[in-house]
Structure 1
Amino acid sequence: MQHGPVGLRLIRARDARTVQRELLSNRAWLQPWEATVPGGIATFDMRVSIRRLLQQHRDGIGYPFVMEYDGEIAGQLNIWGVARGSLCSATIGYWVSERFAGRGITPTAVALATDASFGRFGLHRMEICIRPENRASLRVVQKLGFRYEGLRRRYIHIDGDWRDHHAFALVKEDVPEGVLARWVRGRVPSDAGAVPPDAGALPADD
């Protein structure tokens, strides 16, 4: 998958060294947003991680990609938690190296991945969950017109604790022309992805 200088391709075993180097050189940039395991120890053995991702792909429950810019690996994008049957849904997660930030790589890659999910992969719904503090990722879903669907309390273990996440989603019928085409043509609704001002408020006492 390609749009301009931005490419999205299935991760390969031989990408391990490059991806691991990017992760280690971007620790301060990525750590606040990285998933962790309660009581576990972080590992950066990308050979093991890639083997697991490719096994998920063979099992039909994930699509692990690298994002490229002018042919150079700039980050990762994973379509995970693929549910078939009556759901036909999945979730997107991603990271991009700091040196590639600001070039439109992530929204382009997310658009490509979502279009592929609704087309080639036979999915109906795509979700992205983002920490309220992650303004860069919030801009991605707003640019692409993902719909805000609510706050998930203490949803994912990130950087050593359970963190709240805003949930955004699109279904195939939302984007008949495709996510990428709608964005490139400037047809994303101006209020798309807007988070209500009280979205993080705790419910009032009864």
Structure 2
Amino acid sequence: MPAAFWPVRLSHGPVALRPLRRRDEVDWARIRRQSTAWFRPWDSTRPPESPEPGQTFAQLVTSFSQRARRGQMLPWAVEFTPEGGRARFVGQVTVSGITRGSACWAQVGYWIDPSWAGRGIIPTAVAMATDYCFTGAGLHRVEVAIRPENTNSLAVVRKLGFRYEGRRARYMHVDGAWRDHDVVVLTPEEVPGGVLARYEATLRPLGR
């Protein structure tokens, strides 16, 4: 993916995806501080033997931006604009592990401020990101790996029609240990009209 594909901004109604930036740290830290119990069971952690040093938020954003310009990832902040209100930072959607060649695949991760959960924000955001992976970035496969205990996250991909592919044992280090993850996938052939359009169609009242 050439550098011209980044920065990328996407929007649909009150939901927008825009590049994560350093000044998001205040909101990011506030959300994480207020909802530690919400995030801890699902946050990735470094195994004790990992030689990689920790990063500050600013270093993380810089690293993400550099990798995005190289076509290796798409690190988005999720913004939501309530009716009559201002845009608010409410979460993240990150496309990582972008692989070219004969694979053309990537993995999507996401989270939302629990005070904004249940409003369809993250399903809309993930749908936009997946559609962009297929139509803008030219990828052929999008994966999401989720702990089987994470019912909220699993509900998101079910709403979007991701296909269950299997369970990967001890797949990722999360909350201090190697955890099993369920992997769900989509390819563009499965959603010829787009993920967002299909999701929105499920929200329409019957008979319309």
TM superposition score normalised by structure 1: 0.86
Amino acid at match of 1:134: N
Equivalent position to 2:146, from 122, 130, 134: 130
Instruction: Provide Cα deviations, 1:151-205, integer angstroms capped at 9, x if missing partner.
Output: 0000000000000000000001111100000111129xxxxxxxxxxxxxxxxxx
Q: Quick one: distance in 1 between partners of 2:39 and 2:110? A: 11
CA contact (8 A) 1:127 1:168 kept: yes
CA RMSD of aligned residues (A): 1.7
Aligned amino acid, residue 15 of structure 1: D
Distance 2:166 2:17 in 1: 29
How many equivalent pairs are there? Answer: 187
1:47 maps onto 2:63 in alignment: no
**What TM-score do you get using the length of structure 2 for normalisation?**
0.85
Question: In terms of mean alpha carbon deviation, does 38-47 or 27-36 score higher?
Answer: 38-47
DSSP 3-state at the match of 1:106: helix
Letter in 1 for 2:140: H
* Alignment partner, residue 171 of structure 2: 155
* Of 87, 108, 112, the match for 2:124: 108
- The SS at the match of 1:162 is strand
**8 Å CA contact retained: 1:20, 1:46:** no
Instruction: Determine which of 194, 197, 207 is the counterpart of 1:178.
Output: 194
Q: Does the residue aligned with 1:117 lie in a helix, a strand or coil? A: helix
Gaps of 5+ in 2: 1-9, 82-86, 204-208
Please give the secondary structure, in 1, of the residue aligned with 2:118.
coil
| Deviating 4+ runs (over 3 angstroms) | 40-44
Structure 1 portions without partners, runs of 5+: 188-206
Residue of 66, 74, 94 corresponding to 2:77: 66
Measured after TM superposition, the shift of residue 137 of structure 1 is 0.7
